[in-house]
A and B are shown apart, each in its own frame.
Chain A
Amino acid sequence: MKTNIIALCLVALAATFASCNKEEDLGSSNIKIETPERTELDKWLYDNFVVPYNIEIKYRWDYSELDIEKKLVPPLESMIKPYLQVVKDVWIAPYSDISIVPDKYFLKKLSPKQFILVGSLNYNTDGTVTLGTAEGGRKIVLYDVNAFDKGNKSKVLRMLQTMQHEFAHILHQNKLYPLDFKFITPNYTATWKNYSDSDANSRGYITSYARSGPDDDFAEMVSTMLTMSKAEFDALVDAISNADGKEAIRKKEAIVAGYFRDVYNINIYQLQQRIAEAMNALSTTPDANGN
């Protein structure tokens, strides 16, 4: 009797599972997985940034990528290609030159994987403006794209300085610079904007913004060195009348050069020269102030 009951249970159980064996037609997915239709600009971005460097360029408005408390606007579509062509020429090309940067994967590994382009400046409540931000070594937001003029040297330098500054943050977030750097001029302050660049120089900071904190001090040193030729940088430092200030900046320069050499196997002075040549090749003209 007991055997019959067990057999009956097994048969019933099998029948139960069989009854559940339904193949339903769930229909086609509503998630769009096909490649979006690319405009000429999108194709250019894909060929020049996505394929070689795996860098996504976002220029269409997406507030979720930005600070929603700020008033910002998207870039002019006509500005995207000229702006990014200069980024390619003066930022990507020198770092991709294996005679200077031996690791051919350097930029592929360390470059931010997403550039967000914003048309306007990013105004802060303290009266300053932000030109760029770097987040977690993965994303760079570049502001003021609509004001860019590739024929204007000061505008190109401003963009390049922003790029170099934000990339320097990514580099030190990847591997920190020697701690000695933080103690050369430890009087960092949140009120940096109240001081001029020349005042900051005399206190041992390369720009006034460098006084805001050690990381920005490091990034400002890198970006200043890499937006000037060696002669221009030396002239800037040599013109500082305060001997202590001058000495502090030279110490920081030595740490930055050592960091690039030891961590990334890059001679920063060769890189500096290569970028200066790329700048000269742009045939920019100074603005009305001679900048």
Chain B
Amino acid sequence: MRIFSYAIIVFSLLLIACQKEESTVFNASADERVNKTLSEYVSLISKPQNGWKATYFPDSTKYGGWTFLMKFEADGSVNMNSDFNQFTTSNQMKSKYRVSITQAPTLTFETYTYIHLLSDPGMGVPGEGLNGDFEFAFDRIVGDTIFLKSQSRKGKSVLKLVAAKSEDLSLDKNFEIQSALIQLTSSPNLPYFKTLRVGETNIDVSYNEDKRELILKYLKDGEIVTVSRGVSFQKDRIELATPVLLPNVSKPLPSLPLTIDAAGVPSLNLSEYGLSGSLTATHIPAIPYLTGIVDIQKLEMMVVKSVSESLSDMYNEIKKIPYFQSLQFYFNYPVKNGVLNEIDIFTRAGSKRTWYGYQIDWDFGDDGVLKGTYRGTTNGAAYETIIKPFIDKICNPDGFTVLDVISENYSSGTMYTVELVSRADSRDRLKLNILQ
């Protein structure tokens, strides 16, 4: 009888084990839901008739942003333009993409196209690239905008896709703004310094084309303040990676609206911010450059490395002097030794070395301006007529702005390089250097 009881209990347990009442939280399996989600993302990105416009700042702490037009197709292909350069602006490139699941639904540009230029290790610093990415996790969708996070930079940079309107379908205007800025900041035919005037504040502006970085220097309470911002180019403005607050301006500026005339010259128009503004090329910088003049006094002697085109004929005549080796600028060494400073023509014939001296009385101004007065030659009368036109340029009454000294370390020592820019005509420039 006891066996019978046990059997009843065991069978009861077995029957309970067979009793299945499944209730699932979701109405489809995980795989089905993943596949459905991925399909929906493909549909989403391939839906807009005009594709997407994206401005991507790969690393806003170091670089500016690049603008892309992307048209995704459901077959896994994507057509792209970018304002990287003239070619990428006007030539569409077709490549492949995929939407897959890793830790999150992810968009991967799986064959090379323009967006890879920002992560190509051959660009920028060798091996580093421009810190860009080409794998992005879908983060959120707001209206007609999709936000995707960089995978390799762990979400520190965001690719923002905005559904493109018909007027967005060309990047020519973006490239025009970029070209105008490059022309203004690097043309050898324009005055060297660029001054951005916002309201009553003058700001010295320079532009690093490779990094798409704008460097702004201004005076605040007597101190020179330097700020840099990555920039991107829109149809009618330079967009800053983050707004910049300038002195005597109540609100941070998020962008610099520009108009470009037929000759490609940009004009700043800040009326939308209720401000007056201008962007001009000038012979004299908006702020004093002070450190360079202190540094060249410490270095005491430097050698002419190169001159600008406007000085090249004069310099070439000097280089024709027999056994010419170098043209040397003495800033402090002779004075320390009780004689006047000099510009020297150094020649070497075999073991015979000669320095032909032309005495210069330098004025190292507190405002960072170097002025020279020619006092005559000590032993260089033979070549004075050759060097005199060059010395006249160096000793112009307005003097030279001494740019900050750049130092580079090599196994043989440190190379110091400085550029002198004439305040009479800033197209007259020369680079001096010394290895110490």
Contacts and interface: CB of A to CB of B under 8 A. Distances in A.
Interface string B1-40: 0011001000100110010100000000101100100000
B121 A73 contact: yes
B111 A8 contact: no
B122 interface: yes
A146 B127 contact: no
Interface string B86-122: 0000000011101000000000111110001001111
Nearest to A122: B121
Given A60-B111, A77-B112, A119-B116, A71 B31 contact: no
Contact of A30 (B3, B32, B96, B116): B32
A75 B116 CA distance: 10
A31 B35 CA distance: 10
A45 to B, nearest CB: 13
A84 interface: no
A74 B78 CA distance: 15
Given A60-B110, A77-B96, A72 B121 contact: yes
Interface stretch (A12-20, A202-210, A274-282): A12-20
Given A16-B18, A30-B35, A73-B112, A60 B119 contact: no
A50 interface: no
A57 B35 CA distance: 26
B22 to A, nearest CB: 10
Contacts of B116: 73-74, 119
Nearest to A59: B111
Interface string A9-27: 1001100100110100001
A71 B117 CA distance: 12
A5 B111 contact: no
Which range contains the number of B residues in contact with the other chain? 20 to 34
B122 A120 contact: yes
A71 B7 contact: no
B135 interface: yes
B222 interface: no
Contact of A71 (B3, B4, B95, B121): B121
B29 A63 contact: no
Contact of B121 (A12, A19, A123, A125): A123
A77 B18 contact: no
A257 interface: no
Interface residues of A, number: 32
A71 B111 contact: no
Contacts of B129: 71
* Residue among A31, A70, A121, A125 facing the most chain B CB atoms (10 A cut-off): A121
A105 to B, nearest CB: 33
Contacts of A119: 112, 116, 120
Interface in A131-155: 146
B111 A13 contact: no
* Residue among B31, B122, B129 facing the most chain A CB atoms (10 A cut-off): B122
Contacts of B35: 30
A19 B18 contact: yes
Contacts of A2: 3
B134 interface: yes
Contact of B11 (A13, A72, A146): A13
A92 interface: no
Contacts of B127: 71, 123-125
Contacts of B109: 61, 74
Given A5-B4, A60-B98, A16 B112 contact: no
A76 interface: yes
Given A8-B7, A71-B119, A73-B121, A16 B111 contact: no
Contacts of B32: 30
Contacts of B108: 61
A8 B111 CA distance: 70
A16 B121 contact: no
Contacts of A71: 119-121, 127-129
* Residue among B14, B31, B128 facing the most chain A CB atoms (10 A cut-off): B14
Interface string B197-230: 0000000000000000000000000000000000
Interface of A: 2, 5, 8-9, 12-13, 16, 19-20, 22, 27, 30-31, 59-61, 63, 70-77, 119-121, 123-125, 146
Pairs of residues from A and B, 4 with the lowest C-beta to C-beta distance, nearest first: A123-B127, A30-B31, A61-B110, A71-B121
7 contacts: A30-B35, A61-B110, A61-B134, A73-B112, A75-B112, A77-B111, A125-B127
Interface of B: 3-4, 7, 11, 14-15, 18, 20, 29, 31-32, 35, 94-96, 98, 108-112, 116, 119-122, 126-129, 134-135
